[in-house]
Structure 1
């Protein structure tokens, strides 16, 4: 009987979790609390910015024209869409050529910002496993950094975009300052979406192959090449609720805000003020929701 009592008092019978807590030990790689995670990210802010800049500089390092491809690529895409949708298919939606060109280029640049943020987000964890497994840092740093890289690329393109808008004679004037809040809201939305795709991509690497098709479909449904609102209002085949759904499309929302801020004309006047509420709502829901969704799997990234 005394032997049994002695064994029950043995330190070996103390639960490991209790023993670890007693001595201030924690599980290696355990997920921190959400406030701690935010503080860790803020502490890595210089790394996030430097990493995004390094990726941006390395992106076209092997090309002879170098960083100029940051502008040439979306411009060439816009030129192809202009030939096909603007001239061959008549997708201008009642706009003149001089108004359609800045409309199209703005749409291409703004949608490319979201498109590339999503594509880089999908690969941000699965494509950087060496870095993830070698160093301890908040994994959200990677998708956030890639989204900042795309923002910097867009800012370079904005110089050319503003010149195109001014050259078309449709520069909207003082409303151009609304570009800043529009870009800020889109950045928050893009970061949240990139975080969601980073978690999904880390678990399903084949998602990288699927996303270009999904994004291409999203592009066609977002009015990059033609004015969606005009097409719906002038088509007897589309039910009225389609206009409401298309108006809430986040890609279309942020394009409309940029077009409203930069381009004067009938399309500028047709953008409803509710677009700002949609933009704010998408930024809050996707930005915060995407961050929490990514954080919940923090301890699993790079494992297996």
Structure 2
């Protein structure tokens, strides 16, 4: 069909389209269009994450190498930093404050170094997790990928850093008379449970930190409180019951916190000494429960806000 305009030109009207009258939702359904950045179903989200496992691992390695790229000692700081922290804590809590709970140096130093190394693993997973979205907004806004890849990458970065520290821990154990035994193999499942727990923490903090960047400034104070309440630097029962006079039920409640549980398991697996009575079944149950609740719960909590990351 054609019409003649007022200036004599001929205007040709387009033919009717089969899409005339369809709503935007109907048009999207007809042509298979989806909302950009929409949250996929949970099972599909897991599948997408698995398909990007190589990216997650490569990203974690790149961050690990870049962390100390400007330092003269380079990657040596991965081990040197927690080791220097342990040295400071030894003089303060082991010598000045007498917080070793009757342990001599051959027992207390492996006890302390084990605690500091594993605590650093969880501490840094939280601190890098809280900045994983807010600190990588350019990447989040430029590319389409499962956002959980970022906090999971940072948790894996901390695991790789811990594995370097474990070599030093092995040397310290041998130097103080703790020799390898079959029980040492239990360090692998203990670290696996702690990794799942740390990944859940990193995911939770990533979602919270994406909307509240100031959370990164608050977390060091929260983490310091958790450190003192988890027996990282001293025997928890000794400090609470004998030093603070806390009732036994309160001591048991505090000792059930996840960091204290993972530390207790690892110390009892690696250190053969009078103050380490062996691995308790209740500790394994608690470690498994914490890993399941925080790991799975943190993943679902993060996934529910998938479509909101990088917006606003």
What TM-score, normalized by structure 1, do the two folds share?
0.93
Are the counterparts in 2 of residues 144 and 191 from structure 1 also a CA contact under 8 Å? yes
Q: Distance in 2 between matches of 1:291 and 1:119?
A: 17
Indicate whether 1:82 and 2:95 are aligned. Answer: no
Which residue matches 2:64? 56
Contact kept in structure 1, 2:268 and 2:276, CA below 8 Å: yes
Q: Aligned pair 1:200/2:187, yes or no?
A: no
Q: Deviations over 1:280-304 (max 9, x none)?
A: 0000000000000000000000001
**1:257 to partner: Cα distance:** 1.2
Aligned to 2:136: 128
Separation in 2, partners of 1:172, 1:254: 20
Q: Distance in 2 between matches of 1:216 and 1:198?
A: 19
Please name the residue that 1:71 is paired with: 79
**Alignment match, 1:26:** 34
Matches within 5 A, 1:91-102: 91-102=99-110
In structure 2, the partner of 1:227 is 235
Distance across 2 between alignment mates of 1:303 and 1:206 = 17
Deviation at 1:54, TM superposition (A): 0.5
Q: Which one of 246, 255, 260 corresponds to residue 268 of structure 2?
A: 260
Of 125, 138, 144, 2:146 maps to 138
Please provide the CA RMSD for this pair: 1.5
Alpha-carbon contact 2:230-2:255 (below 8 Å) kept: no
Structure 2 unaligned spans of 5+ = 1-17
Q: Specify the structure having the higher radius of gyration (Cα).
A: 2
* Matching of residue 111 in structure 1 with residue 119 in structure 2: yes
Given candidates 258, 281, 285, the residue that maps to 1:277 is: 285
Distance 1:236 1:156, change over 3 A: closer
SS of the aligned residue for 2:69 comes to: coil
Q: CA deviation at 1:173?
A: 1.7
Q: Do the aligned residues in 2 keep the contact of 1:121 with 1:147 (CA within 8 Å)?
A: yes
In 2, Cα distance between equivalents of 1:94 and 1:282:
30
1:243 CA displacement = 1.8
Describe the superposition over 1:103-159 as per-residue Cα deviations: whole angstroms up to 9, x where unpaired.
Answer: 000000000000000000000000000111111100000000000000000000000
CA shift at 1:236, angstroms?
A: 7.1
Show the 5 A alignment for 1:163-178: 163-171=171-179, 173-178=181-186
Taking the aligned partners of 1:53 and 1:236, their CA distance within structure 2 comes to 44
Partner in structure 1 of residue 219 of structure 2: 211
Q: Measured at CA, do residues 79 and 106 of structure 1 come closer, stay the same or move farther in structure 2, by a change above 3 Å?
A: same
Q: Tell me, yes or no, if the aligned pair for 1:172 and 1:264 is still in contact at 8 Å.
A: no
Change (3 A) 1:236 1:208: closer
Q: Does the Cα contact within 8 Å between 2:269 and 2:278 map onto a contact in 1?
A: no
Question: CA contact under 8 A between 2:82 and 2:117: conserved in structure 1?
Answer: yes
Give how far 1:172 is off.
5.7
- With over 3 angstroms needed to count, the CA separation of the structure-2 counterparts of 1:204 and 1:236, relative to structure 1, is closer
Instruction: Tell me, in whole angstroms, the C-alpha distance in 2 between the residues paired with 1:282 and 1:172.
Output: 28
Greater shift after overlay, 167-176 or 115-124? Answer: 167-176
Structure-1 separation of matches of 2:280 and 2:266: 13
Cα drift, residue 247 of structure 1: 2.1
Deviates more, 1:16-25 or 1:242-251: 16-25
Mean alpha-carbon deviation: is it higher for 235-244 or for 66-75?
235-244
- Long gaps (5+) in structure 1: 1-9
> What TM-score comes out, normalization by structure 2 length?
0.91
C-alpha separation in 1, matches of 2:244 and 2:305: 47
C-alpha contact 2:230 2:254 (8 A) present in aligned 1: yes
